[in-house]
Structure 1
Amino acid sequence: MRIRGGVLSAKAEEMLSVPSEAVDVRVDKWSTPVLNDENRLKLATFATNMRGSVTLANVEGKVLGSWEESLRLAQHADRIGFDAVIPVQRWRGFDGQFNLSARSFEPFTWATALLARTQRIQAFATVQVPLIHPVMAAKMAVTADHVSGGRFGINVVAGWFPEEFAMFGLTQREHDARYAYADEWTTLLKRLWTGDAPADFNGEYIKAVDAFSDPRPLQDPYPVIMNAGTSGPGRDFAATHSDLIFASLQNMETARRQIAEIKQQALASHGREVRVFGRVHIVCRPTEQDARDYFRFVHRDSADVAAIEKLFDKSTANSKSLEVDPEEHGQMIERLAAGRGAMTLIGTPEQVVESLLELTNAGLDGVAISWVNYDEGLQQMEDEILPLMVQAGLRS
């Protein structure tokens, strides 16, 4: 076999002829921390790649958005047994007094770097699918999976912020078309991860000629896929493609029904077993009154109201699952101020664990956690909350 400048050695020819299966040690994705049965309730950190994280308020201790901070938080979470870190993908902020969300790290490169510096924890990349071609995404994801020994995951998002699309010269599609596009995008992504030979893809939205990707992911058959679709088309997309689905939890009373519906839809329509996660924002202090006072100080007295209003307007526009009655406007604004729509757990360590146990008994498989101050939150998890979770049977 000839190459430019000479002839390949017999050793080189032998290496080139070795199939990927003989080079790569693959792992079952259902053995990964977010999907396996090692812990009854899985734990993830949320949005540590963005300045302010989910806190739109003028308070001390919130995420600054530096690489040193991202690495420190991920390594702390890894050391105490957390199962995943989940970033957001933001290309611009929501203005307001501080425009906190404007500073963020790109999730694919951020996750890959964290995976190279951690041991067990999984790292996800969040991707708004119209902004990255699936052929590119497939290769980046495989690279991260190999860097980590099979710990990468992808959070597929249809996208909802028109100003971000405009930065790429794109116009946001109407709601149902966004999920039709996401379906084609994810279908091609999975084909690239599993296909043996180049193949054309001729969708309504996406075209690819002789598309191929090598090597394959280490996770078999491909990395964990996450989605948070809540509308009809969104939930159907998630049931079709996702291993891990986020439920938009409103309160304890409706959580059990929401979780059961998501799992039943995936099983009934596609014969698929899925895990269901929810987002929780923890405000924990030695007494319940201390926790409520701190919550009020951060999320009411210090809130960046202009940014919260813009986030509300953008996240509810053209969204079939977030059509809000005018009377509910104030309640929604308050939820966005406190964890950007996450279920808020306020109280003592014991009360927080009681709430987590109640959610788990309702069928929840994991939580993506946010705090105002992540360093303090992770330390409190290590010192106080995790031991109580072990006692409650939530963690091993």
Structure 2
Amino acid sequence: MSIPLARFGVWALVHGSRAALQDPEEPYDASWTRNKALVLEAERLGYDSVLVAQHTINPHDPNLDQLEAWTASAALAALTERIEIIAAIKPYLYHPVVLAKMAQQIEHISQGRFAINLVNAWNRPELERAGIGFAEHDARYAYGREWITVVEALLRGERTSFNGEHFHIDDYLLRPADPFRARPRIYVGGESEPARQLVADKGDVWFINGQPLEDVARLIADVSARTRPASLAGLRFGLSAFVIARESDEEAQQHLAHLFALAAKDAPLRAQQKANIDPKAVMFQTFAQTPRVGSNGGTAAGLVGSYDTVARRIAAFQHAGIELFMLQFQPFEADMRTFAEQVIPRVHALNALNAG
């Protein structure tokens, strides 16, 4: 396997802080104003992507603010010039024809910088309280497979007919078609068996949740060995991770301990969140195995240490096949700047040294 060129992205703060909600250095703020400023600065700093997670209600506490992913992504597409905008989507919330049209429009606004992140719903109240219902795990993936089949064809500008268990599409065509590429990129999340097969069959990039290098390498090997449709290029891989990069390993560990202490204050909210989670979601089974801060695996990926330590660990993940590192920080803005200034140049230097 050739070593991919590293790309770096950030998580938009759609529901506030990622590690601890009660941090005096980072007051809770999931506003559009903050997210706009954060993404514009990320683009200026050279980050390649931003992931805008989708929730209609806050997954920690329904009384807390929650940014809406798709309207925010459309606005970001108009305000930015270079950064890739990845909007997450839970299939039950949008009919595939409507969503494909929305995605097509944001692709035009961004001039070819838009992507979809297909995720399986795990937050039960979000669907149940809307009267949509919360299907069993594998049934949700079967629904999502039909859904993305319709969306993908429409995004390609194809005249689409589909007759499945959930959707019946009759000779549908969306215009204008994509003038920038065949269609927007499709990221897929999830690590269960149905998720892995869906990634192999339909995805361009697989988002893996933060976890130790050896586990990530096994996941990549498993999905890389699966047959893919001839119409799709080789599958690429992304990793979610929470980064703590400081001048020394000791300073980084001290900040990690500080965040663990702050996160302990959120225990009642975490307990409620856990009660809302589908127990069959592999993501949360994996999270339970390793103490961590941050969402989607967080610090379990091990990107905690000095600038050199973190750069070397990123290079090791690159050797395993990771191309895109989708990052979280706390305090977010300050640590995002530090990472761009101190760690990214070190990663590029390591890549140049290894290439030579």
Shift of 1:81: 1.9
Say whether residues 1:338 and 2:300 are aligned partners.
no
Partner of 2:192: 231
CA contact (8 A) 2:242 2:327 kept: yes
CA contact (8 A) 1:175 1:320 kept: no
CA contact (8 A) 1:285 1:348 kept: yes
Which deviates further from its counterpart, 306-315 or 180-189? 306-315
Say whether residues 1:58 and 2:33 are aligned partners.
no
Partner of 2:325: 367
The one of 204, 226, 237 equivalent to 1:276 is: 237
Say whether residues 1:358 and 2:316 are aligned partners.
yes
CA contact (8 A) 1:194 1:216 kept: yes
Over 3 Å counting, the alpha-carbon distance change for 1:148 and 1:338 in structure 2 is closer
Partner of 2:270: 308
Shift of 1:39: 7.2
Say whether residues 1:392 and 2:353 are aligned partners.
no
Say whether residues 1:380 and 2:342 are aligned partners.
no
Which deviates further from its counterpart, 381-390 or 127-136? 381-390
Shift of 1:218: 3.4
The one of 182, 185, 191 equivalent to 2:147 is: 185
Partner of 2:108: 146
CA contact (8 A) 1:61 1:372 kept: yes
Say whether residues 1:158 and 2:120 are aligned partners.
yes
CA contact (8 A) 1:284 1:349 kept: yes
Which deviates further from its counterpart, 66-75 or 273-282? 66-75
User: Per the alignment, in what secondary structure is the counterpart of residue 265 of structure 1?
Assistant: coil
Aligned-partner residue type, residue 387 of structure 1 = P
Say whether residues 1:84 and 2:43 are aligned partners.
no
Shift of 1:226: 0.5
User: Aligned equivalents of 1:58 and 1:42: distance in 2?
Assistant: 31
Aligned-partner residue type, residue 65 of structure 2 = R
User: Per the alignment, in what secondary structure is the counterpart of residue 387 of structure 1?
Assistant: helix
User: Per the alignment, in what secondary structure is the counterpart of residue 220 of structure 1?
Assistant: coil
Deviations 1:43-68 (A, max 9, x none): 1101322222x223411226611222
Stretches of structure 1 lacking an aligned partner (at least 5 in a row): 1-36
Shift of 1:134: 0.8
C-alpha RMSD over aligned residues: 2.7
Over 3 Å counting, the alpha-carbon distance change for 1:222 and 1:340 in structure 2 is closer
Partner of 2:14: 49
Stretches of structure 2 lacking an aligned partner (at least 5 in a row): none
Shift of 1:102: 3.8
User: Aligned equivalents of 1:164 and 1:183: distance in 2?
Assistant: 21
Bigger Rg, which one:
1
Aligned length: 349
CA contact (8 A) 2:120 2:189 kept: no
User: Per the alignment, in what secondary structure is the counterpart of residue 303 of structure 2?
Assistant: strand
User: Aligned equivalents of 1:63 and 1:357: distance in 2?
Assistant: 33
Partner of 1:29: none
CA contact (8 A) 1:292 1:347 kept: yes
Partner of 1:248: 209
CA contact (8 A) 1:55 1:340 kept: no
CA contact (8 A) 1:134 1:189 kept: yes
Partner of 1:21: none
**How many percent of aligned residue pairs carry the same amino acid?**
25
CA contact (8 A) 1:123 1:152 kept: yes
Shift of 1:301: 4.4
CA contact (8 A) 1:122 1:152 kept: yes
Deviations 1:356-396 (A, max 9, x none): 11111121111100001221122102321122122112799
Say whether residues 1:347 and 2:305 are aligned partners.
yes
User: Aligned equivalents of 1:344 and 1:313: distance in 2?
Assistant: 27
Deviations 1:176-223 (A, max 9, x none): 1111111111111122223454x5432101223443211112342210
User: Per the alignment, in what secondary structure is the counterpart of residue 222 of structure 1?
Assistant: coil
User: Aligned equivalents of 1:85 and 1:220: distance in 2?
Assistant: 20
Q: TM-score, normalised by structure 1?
A: 0.80
Say whether residues 1:129 and 2:87 are aligned partners.
no
User: Aligned equivalents of 2:317 and 2:172: distance in 1?
Assistant: 43
CA contact (8 A) 2:163 2:169 kept: yes
User: Per the alignment, in what secondary structure is the counterpart of residue 226 of structure 2?
Assistant: helix
User: Aligned equivalents of 2:79 and 2:274: distance in 1?
Assistant: 36
User: Aligned equivalents of 2:206 and 2:63: distance in 1?
Assistant: 24
